[in-house]
Amino acid sequence: MSMTPSQGAAAVSATAGQAADGARRPAGGGTSGGPTSGSGTPARKRPRRFHFTPYLLITPAVAALLLALAYPVGWQFATSLKEYGLKQQFGQPAEFVGLDNYVTIITTNATWMVLVRSVLFCLINAFLTVAIGTALATLMSAVPKGPRLVLQIALLLAWAMPVVAVMTVWNWLFDWFHGTINWALVEAGADGFWHHQWLAKPLSFYLVATIIIVWMSVPFVAFSIYAGLTQISGEVLEAAQIDGAGWWRRFTGIVMPMVRPVLAIVTLLQIIWDLRVFSQIRMLQDRGGLPSETDLLGTYIYREGVGSSHFGMAAAMSVFVLLITVIASSPYVRSLLKEDQA
């Protein structure tokens, strides 16, 4: 299940608070490494009592979520078991084909090419986004208030721009005839970029798409990690500096472990969002990219469903993407369960 940016921001804020509470909580222990009684012998750990109140409080929210997801997910799965064609456009019922659509997905080379392409594109974009966002968050925590406000306002404006407005600007920048990027490169001496078509070849197409997607995603990562950095006590960093730890040692040994929960959920959200990216790729294809060579999962499902009326195949591919998302989310869910049991 994917999250909206507002849900992701709320989850990140909650995770940052948990990390801060864990950092401020003193570690109890005696000579044996665990809690001790007054006589010095290890105290027995009391069994946890089961409380119904928390589960009762979240029941309405869980019920509403399940009701909202049950129909679309169920309809998607039911559609993936049928075959749609020209007859269905004239009112004929769709033919039930069972798992044939899934078999076609697994046995088609084009599907695997799109899947591999999407996963590589997703991982590269997620890595660049988290790396740049972490660097900007660290910069915001290090600079004075004035420059920090300027940087935060710039990031907020970049994040608030609608996708259509963003794509209009970037399409103009990379336009092959009137583009500012080509003009700047030619003025710098790179004559080979005169009327260069960035979207004609897959490699340069994905380069442009990566620049746009990272530019749009970095603000969320930067603000989220910066929120986690604000929870780190300055006394801890000052004590490490007095002990002789350099800035890199303080960053890798103190800062990163304390913001690891925030970093984990931000990375997970970024992978999910980059895996199902659609609008940016579709708009770049409309400007000159070849769909057969630049399709990712989102645009491939769109072409199969809306473009070719193969709604059964498109639904099966959507279920396939849902399974990939669940698999990608499972390590984080397991870590949450382990923390809850600790």
**Residue 33 resides in a domain:** no
CATH of the domain at 141: 1.10.3720.10
**Residue 304 resides in a domain:** yes
In this structure, the number of other CB atoms found within 10 A of the CB of residue 105 comes to 19
**Residue 298 resides in a domain:** yes
Express each pLDDT in 51-75 by its tens digit. Answer: 788 888 999 999 998 888 888 888 8
C-alpha 95/C-alpha 335 separation (Å) is 43
pLDDT at residue 46, rounded to an integer: 65
**Residue 329 resides in a domain:** yes
pLDDT at residue 52, rounded to an integer: 82
Express each pLDDT in 23-32 by its tens digit. Answer: 444 444 444 4
46-49-55 Cα angle (round to 5): 150
pLDDT at residue 224, rounded to an integer: 92
pLDDT at residue 306, rounded to an integer: 81
pLDDT at residue 132, rounded to an integer: 95
CA separation, residue 193 to residues 179, 186, 188, 209, 288 (Å)? 10, 6, 10, 18, 17
**Residue 108 resides in a domain:** no
C-alpha 217/C-alpha 333 separation (Å) is 23
**Residue 7 resides in a domain:** no
Residues of the chain with pLDDT under 70: 1-48, 86, 88-89, 340-342
Residues paired with residue 96 on neighbouring β-strands, in sequence order: 82
Domain count, the chain: 1
Domain of residue 160 covers 113-342
pLDDT at residue 28, rounded to an integer: 43
